[in-house]
Structure 1
Amino acid sequence: MRYRINHSIIYTPDDGTVKLTADGENEISSGEISLAPTANRLLAMLISHHGSILQRDELLNNVWDAHGLRASNNSLNQYISVLRRNFADLGLEETVIVTIPTVGFMFSKDIQVIVEDAPAAGARVQASSSPRPAASPPGEGAEGAVPRAAKFKKWAIVAALALLTAANGWFFLRPNSAAPVFEQRFLLGTLESCPVYTFYKTDSSSQSKYMDLVRKSMERASFHCKPDREIFFKIEDRALYHQKATMFIAICSRLKENEFSGCRSYYTN
């Protein structure tokens, strides 16, 4: 089961994803957010009671206490803010989750919600990959595939999954740890107000060229820099020589140091 929200957004509780849809019925755009388990449970409960008010205690008991987590009004308010920001990032500017003072919250009855059957696994993969052919780099399906391209593709997929899950809480920074969930990141530069990080050291002589690629990638992905956002970028070196190269970029909303509320990623080759 999944929910279609205002025609343009699909939320699937089973995998905790919120996706933008393209014009086609089954076509999924590159805009996708993977929710943390707590955020997913909270949204699932709110949307399943569409138009009905849920009391704070009811949400805290079912989303936190029932799963062995410490519940607090502060945590609830924070996750409500995260969900609102996620919908805003996907272009839904209306108030999706309404605050009922002193009572609780409600998934707005003014937002259209349609319950749909989730497509078969094969159909979903085909739909999600159709807007961007990144799942099949040139020649990879052939017996003589280029090892470097295959290796990079595997890295990019792992990095995308790691960033999305880390950013939404699957691997949030542990309370007693001083290290972020990703082992290393290196500051490449700043795009407007957003710091740009790579996963490897870059020669100072090449930094300006890489930053030009970041700008072009941001435009291609229709990503925009806003306060409290960070950019993560990976591209093959051959792009510096104007050769076709595989590229991965993600823009993440920062809650605090090394802790993020959500990421949007774009991957192409």
Structure 2
Amino acid sequence: MKYLIDKTISFNTDDGVLAQTDTDNAEIVNLSIPAARLLEEFTRSGGRELTREYLLENVWEIHGLQATDGNLRQYISILRRNLALLGCPEFIVTIPKVGFKANPDIPVIASNPVEFDETISTFGGGDSLPPSRTNTEFVRWCSILFALFLIAGLSAFLLHNRMATTVLPGHYVSDDGCDITYVKDIPDATRKGNVALITDILRKNNLQCSRDNIVIFDKEISAASDNNSRIMLSFCYTGKNKEVISCENFYEYKKVEK
């Protein structure tokens, strides 16, 4: 399903993409799965009041995810920040002691997906490409590969937590305290060199790593072509005991400049 918010922002619930529709150089935001589910609740609510309990259950609990008020506040903040970036800062209204609602003064129109131009985008506001069967297959395989890399990275992170006295080969802490775990073992100089790239990716997506986060990262050159590189990054929020609460996932596939 697609929605048009405030006549200028398209929201595709299938891939979590928010995009401006009224400019040539449109800003594009790729929402994480929980953020996209949360925004969908607002866009299809018709301005009804949505209690905290309702949102926690329908965005997290029924999908088998941990639901806390902290999660809800965090993702409400993420949505507000991204909507403001696209020119609609007042879409989500707080109802004290109850929950939230979509601003009834901002129109939301549900639309059949064929009424909008489909786009496939990379993070960081990259260029959009017309859809094709090849692109669709590519995105599907990238998603599968990313899931495998993410599982491997999280396994390494959990092993690191259980073996507190052991520093894993793929583990690195930057000067600002950002806890970075690399999916595979790479030279120490390469790990340090990737910090600038990781920082740039987070900056493009309005994120900043701190001691309350962990970043799982992988970069590799395609085996099929030495001119193609694939970058996969998972930005995770952690609890008091460094347990992973939720993650935002990003990937990029591009030509390597020679």
Same fold (TM over 0.5): yes
242, 247, 250: which one pairs with 1:265? 250
Which residue number corresponds to residue 156 of structure 2?
184
How do residues 214-229 of structure 1 correspond to structure 2 at under 5 angstroms? 214-215=198-199, 221=204, 224-227=207-210, 228-229=212-213
Matched, 1:232 2:213: no
Structure 1 distance, partners of 2:201, 2:100, is: 38
1:175-226 Cα deviation digits (max 9, x unpaired): xxxxx9832253234264432221012222433333344355556x555424
Which residue number corresponds to residue 35 of structure 1?
33
100, 104, 107: which one pairs with 1:105? 100
Structure 2 distance, partners of 1:262, 1:224, is: 12
- Structure 1 residues 205 and 25 mapped into 2: Cα distance closer, same or farther (>3 Å)? closer
Would you say how many aligned residue pairs link Structure 1 and Structure 2?
A: 223
Which residue number corresponds to residue 85 of structure 1?
77
1:105-155 Cα deviation digits (max 9, x unpaired): 31223544232212399x64xx2159367x99xxx99xxxxxxxxxxx998
Counterpart of 2:144, as a letter, is V
Matched, 1:21 2:19: yes
Compute the RMSD of aligned alpha carbons. 4.8
Structure 2 distance, partners of 1:61, 1:197, is: 29
Which residue number corresponds to residue 150 of structure 1?
none
On the 8 A contact 1:188/1:211 being kept in 2, the answer is: no
- Structure 1 residues 245 and 80 mapped into 2: Cα distance closer, same or farther (>3 Å)? same
Structure 2, unpaired ranges of 5+: 158-169
TM-score by length of 2: 0.60
Which residue number corresponds to residue 48 of structure 1?
44
On the 8 A contact 2:56/2:72 being kept in 1, the answer is: no
Structure 2 distance, partners of 1:68, 1:249, is: 24
Structure 1, unpaired ranges of 5+: 142-152, 172-179
Greater relative CO (CA pairs within 8 A, separation 6+): 1
Counterpart of 2:154, as a letter, is F
What SS does the aligned partner of 1:128 have? coil
Counterpart of 2:155, as a letter, is E
TM-score by length of 1: 0.58
What SS does the aligned partner of 2:195 have? helix
- Structure 1 residues 43 and 255 mapped into 2: Cα distance closer, same or farther (>3 Å)? farther
Identity %: 16
On the 8 A contact 1:4/1:10 being kept in 2, the answer is: yes
